[in-house]
Chain A
Amino acid sequence: DAGVIQSPRHEVTEMGQEVTLRCKPISGHNSLFWYRQTMMRGLELLIYFNNNVPIDDSGMPEDRFSAKMPNASFSTLKIQPSEPRDSAVYFCASRGLAGGSTGELFFGEGSRLTVL
């Protein structure tokens, strides 16, 4: 299996622009998590989905952030408009809760966002 796939790996944009981060979870996994990591704030949970349904989005910093999971194999995290303080590494992680899955989180390699 290819693991959790995130794109883009790096993005540099200007303040005010829309940013869309993408995630493809491991096939068969039914939970998906979005995290943001910075030196100051560590690894923060933004939102997570079970079976494509958002369960808890209390970590989403403000209305500029939105996340969707239209199907079991794809999720997006959108920031509109972006601000310099959104600069961070954004991680997507998935896990399986059915069948032979172990339930542990598998992380992607992250998307490093820089907002100028």
Chain B
Amino acid sequence: LAKTTQPISMDSYEGQEVNITCSHNNIATNDYITWYQQFPSQGPRFIIQGYKTKVTNEVASLFIPADRKSSTLSLPRVSLSDTAVYYCLVGAPLYSSASKIIFGSGTRLSIRP
């Protein structure tokens, strides 16, 4: 499994765009990049997954450069409710039964008024 490195914590303010970058230098050709979000006292929940370039959904965007050695989760116009821990995972795609889904330390995002 490719190792991921992301900032331990980040702070931002309501209404700002937040970008959380994850490094995964040893990503394999078949690996996908997946992000989960965990609110206090809850289990993580899936945000977004991508393989290359850009993926966007109603929650976030995921930017992946051509070399795929890093990725950036972008949260547009954050609110207080976006305060959570964000995990970057690298491994088999969602539909693969081969997934041993490992979570790293995550990035603790704090949003202030």
A residues adjacent to B (C-beta < 8 A): 4, 31, 33, 35, 42-43, 45, 48, 50, 55-56, 91, 93, 95, 97, 102-110
Contact B42 A109 (CB under 8 A): yes
Contact B105 A42 (CB under 8 A): yes
Q: Which residues of A contact B41 (CB under 8 A)?
A: 109-110
Q: A43-B44, A91-B43, A97-B95 are in contact. Are A105 and B101 (CB under 8 A)?
A: yes
Query: A55-B100, A97-B95, A104-B34 known; 6 other A-B pairs, CB under 8 Å?
Result: A48-B101, A56-B100, A97-B96, A102-B46, A105-B46, A106-B46
Contact B104 A42 (CB under 8 A): yes
Q: Which residues of B contact A43 (CB under 8 A)?
A: 38, 44, 87, 103, 106
5 contacts between A and B (CB under 8 A): A42-B103, A43-B44, A48-B100, A95-B94, A97-B95
Binary contact readout B83-113 vs A (1 if CB under 8 angstroms, 0 otherwise): 0000100000111110111111110000000
Q: Which of B43, B45, B95, B102 contacts A103 (CB 8 A)?
A: B95
The CA-CA distance from A42 to B6 in the complex, in Å, is: 14
B residues adjacent to A (C-beta < 8 A): 34, 36, 38, 41-46, 49, 87, 93-97, 99-106
Nearest CB on B from A43, distance (A)? 4
The CA-CA distance from A102 to B93 in the complex, in Å, is: 10
Q: Which residues of A contact B97 (CB under 8 A)?
A: 31, 50, 97
Contact A45 B45 (CB under 8 A): no
